[in-house]
Amino acid sequence: MANKVEVKDVFKTYKRGKAEFHALNGISLSIKEGEFLAVMGPSGSGKSTLLHLIGALDKPTSGEVFIDGVSLSLLGDDALSQIRREKVGFIFQQFNLLPTLTARENILLPLRIAGKSSRETERYADEVIEAVGLTNWSSNLPEEMSGGQMQRVGIARALAIRPSIILADEPTGNLDSKTSEEILNLLKDCQEQFKQTIIMVIHDAKAAAYGDRIIRLKDGQIDEEVEAYSANLI
Amino acid sequence: MLTLFKTFNLRYLAKHKLRITTIIFGVTLGIIMVVATALVNQSILRSYHSLVDTAAGKTGLQVLSNTRSGLPASIADEVAQIKGVKAAVPVVRSDVFAFINGKQAGSLLVYGIDRKKDTNARSYEFSAGRQFRAGEPDAIVLTKAWANEKGLKTGDHINITGSRGFKEFKIVDLLSDTGPAHANLGSFAIMDINTARGLLNKAGKIDQVDVVLEDGEKPNIVQDRIKHKLDGRAEVEIPATRGTEVQRSMESMSIFLDLAAMISIFVGAFIIFNNLEISVEERRYGIGTLRALGLPRKKIFTLVIFEAILLGFIGSIFGVAIGTLLANLMSTAFADAILSFERIRITDLGVTPQIFILGILMGPVMAAIASMGPAMRMLRVAPLEALRPFETAWRPRPKTWKLVVSALILVIGVGSLLIFVYVLENNDKLSQNMQLIGNFILASIFLTFLGSVLLMPHLFLYPSGSKGRAHLPYEWP
Ligand SMILES: Nc1ncnc2c1ncn2[C@@H]1O[C@H](COP(=O)(O)OP(=O)(O)OP(=O)(O)O)[C@@H](O)[C@H]1O
Ligand SMILES: [Mg+2]
């Protein structure tokens, strides 16, 4: 099967005062279409940074990221924006909701940005809202919601446009274990039903087992890579 | 795009009513003064025209009656004999009321003239070429402009109030829009001198003699000769002295208005610049989020500019409306104060299409320019800025010393202007020195402007800066 995402020898360097800090330190990785990859690793190991580069939210210092075989480094703002709004659904670690919009409006925002707001697409969005358990909260503003609810709004927003790639940065970080399980099952459904490719950053090893494959980052490098069934055995 | 504007921009605006009211107020402030100034200047210009092209014509000196009953008609011949006088033109004049079909149609300045002699002082242009015959009893010539305004044409009849009630006149011709036709802003009519005498009960009398001088004669020398000859039986004036006085006060009024308009544009623009800047910067986080969700740069730009243009347009509408109102108030006060001359009248001020378009366009243009800077800055907002709101959050830090200094400058500016106006009113010697007055007023206006501009950011940035955190949905760890 074709590689949906390919990361080739990627470095990401931040300047800290005069010193340079390598958040990503030469990472190469391929993810197949319809694959579910779990990314683990200690805090500061570069998990979010990796996800941002794949989601076309940031540019690597060196190396290349390919999506559907196209190198992002060759694309301008219009094309990168198009990838962000049409191919990628990003579940942010800090939710990033617009404070002036209600939950449902936040969730429909990507459809509106993409100009794909129709009765059909909005019906799917409402299904997602139901699946994340927000039906009764859809007209509330973010400030009226708990962290867990805001996180679920962020998840629904990423899924509503039914992107071919879902990038989830600790999607269950603020959820109780029962809701976490529901969300993980929802992601698994997305993979199975719509063949969506999923890359999920996760702390919990049990949750990571939802993936087909698990990689572990350390100091900006891939420290360990295992197939999920063997992780289950561990 | 429109749905995005509705959800992203309008929702923000609805939540920040004070901010948008301030922006709209800034636009309105600038436009009020521009519209008012343009209108008043326009009417000053018109009055000025009426002054330059009035009935005085080539008159170098005027012999005027010092009583209400007028001068004996023979005085014109007497004056004509004096050395340096080329022609002495007798005039019977009066302000009368006109009635059309029994309805009041406004006042008219009527000149009763001796057609033959009058050509020395004035050149009329009759549009039908008929004029009136000497002694023709009921013939009147109106200006074309006035007749058009009242819907009258040659051959129509008009009633005029005289000393013995109404008298009906026939409009035998109209004056084309040149020279004397501008007198009294067009509310001007001529008739035969004897007809006027009959109407006004002034048999054998005249009201003034318009004196045309020989080439090269100095008005004040001839003035002395006439005064000497008449020996107190009449006043002798140089018509221009009245004119220049009024002209000077109109000029200084006009300059003052221009300055006021400039200042209010500056202050208005400054308010707009400041508040648009804040209102856009406050949304940096949201704009980062929109970028992360795939909104391209150029659409961010469009959203910001479009919003500014909309606010500018609303401000413009208020500005034109209030500006027109203010212009009418100002010109009334203004006319009472310095233009209380019979010959100069500030007409009703209507918005001309040019001024309307100028006012309506100025707001959106000003706002678009003001939003250009923040809009450009928003182009550079990276999608990831949404993830680090506190690193990039833009919070102004007002410095107390700056606040004190700018407030002080403002107080000095306003204070010195007030003190100066007070001193001016109580000191005749000082009020003669126009140059000093001009410079001082300029300096204090500049200080006022500088003070307000420096103070503005403290007034507007501070409250929003302290609120900056409040509308972020979560606390950054
Ligand atoms: N804009 C930035 N400037 C400087 N350093 C940064 C920046 N963004 C990330 N870093 C640093 O890069 C490193 C990797 O960050 P990243 O967010 O990818 O870690 P992470 O694995 O997601 O950690 P966590 O589990 O805490 O979310 C961290 O040490 C972080 O401080
Ligand atoms: Mg992270």
Q: Read off the pLDDT of each residue in B39-51 and give the average, rounded to a whole number.
A: 66
Cα B453 to Cα B447: distance, rounded to the nearest angstrom? 10
Q: What whole-number percentage of chain B has pLDDT above 70?
A: 78
Q: What is the ipTM of this complex?
A: 0.92
Q: Does B287 touch chain A if contact means CB atoms closer than 8 Å?
A: no
Token readout for B185 is 């802003």
Average pLDDT over residues B327-353: 61
SS3 at position B290: helix
Cα torsion A175, A179, A182, A186: sign: negative
Q: Pick the closest to residue B195 from B141, B134, B137 (CA basis).
A: B137
Chain B: closest CA distance from residue A143 (Å): 6
Tell me which of A48, A57, A169, A223 to substitute to probe ligand 1's pocket, judged by most ligand atoms within 8 Å of the beta carbon: A48
| Total count of residues recorded for chain B | 477
Which tops the pLDDT comparison, B351 or B395? Answer: B351
In whole angstroms, give the CA distance from residue A214 to residue A229: 10
pLDDT band at B250; cut points 50, 70, 90: low
For every residue of A146-190, DSSP letters joined together read -HHHHHHHHHHHHHHT--SEEEEESTTTTS-HHHHHHHHHHHHHH
User: How many angstroms separate the CA of residue A77 from the nearest CA in chain B?
Assistant: 7
Compare B356 and B273 and report the one with higher pLDDT.
B356
Selected residue with higher pLDDT from B159 and B180: B159
Chain A contact for B471, CB < 8 A?
yes
Cα angle A228, A166, A199; round to 5: 30
Q: How far A82 CA lies from chain B's nearest CA (Å)? A: 6
pLDDT at B52 over 60: no
User: Looking at this protein, which amino acid is placed at residue B281?
Assistant: E
Task: State pLDDT tens for residues B434-451.
Answer: 566 667 766 777 777 777
Contact (Cβ atoms closer than 8 angstroms) between residue A144 and residue A132? no
Q: Is B286 close to A83, i.e. CB distance below 8 A?
A: no
Q: Yes or no: say if A26 and A11 are a contact pair by the CB < 8 Å rule.
A: yes
**pLDDT above 90: percentage of residues in chain B:** 22
The binding-site residues of ligand 1, defined as CB within 6 angstroms of any ligand atom, are A 14, 23, 41, 43-49, 93
Mark yes or no for CB contact A77/B474 under 8 Å: no
Contact between residue A72 and residue A114 where contact means Cβ atoms under 8 Å apart: no
Q: A 26-55 residues with CB below 8 A of B?
A: 52
Atom of ligand 1 nearest to the CA of A220: 14
CA angle B422, B43, B316 (to 5 degrees): 85
* Rounded-to-integer distance, Cα A166 and Cα A199, Å: 6
Report chain B residues whose CB lies below 8 A from the CB of A146. Answer: none
Contact B7 A150 (CB under 8 A): no
The three-class DSSP label of residue A20 is: strand
Hey, which of A45, A202, A217 would you mutate to test ligand 1's pocket, going by the most ligand atoms within 8 Å of its Cβ? A45
Q: Which atom of ligand 1 is nearest to the CA of A93?
A: 27
Of A96, A99, A112, the CB nearest to B292: A96
Q: For A32-51+81-230, which CATH class?
A: alpha beta
Task: Give dist(CA B153, CA B173) in Å, integer.
Answer: 8
Residues of chain B positioned with their CB less than 8 A from the CB of A52: 384
Q: Which two tokens stand for residue A60?
A: 């690597």
Residues of B in contact with A96 (CB under 8 A): 288-289, 292, 386-387
Residues in chain A: 234
Residues from chain A that touch B15, judged by Cβ atoms under 8 A, are 100
Shortest distance, CA A56 to any CA of chain B (angstroms): 9
- Gap from CA of B391 to ligand 2 centroid (Å): 16
Half-sphere exposure (Cβ direction) of B128: Cα atoms closer than 13 Å:
14
Decide if B342 contacts B64 (C-beta within 8 A): no
* B350 vs B51, more confident: B350
Tell me the chain A residues in contact with residue B7 when contact means C-beta distances shorter than 8 Å. Answer: 101, 105, 109, 112
Task: Answer whether 0.90 is exceeded by the pTM.
Answer: no
Give the C-alpha separation, B81 to B95, whole Å: 30
Q: Provide the residue ranges of all domains of chain A, joining segments of one domain with +.
A: 32-51+81-230
CA distance A129 to A143: 18
pLDDT digits (tens, 9 = 90+) for A168-207: 999 998 889 988 998 999 999 999 988 999 999 999 988 9
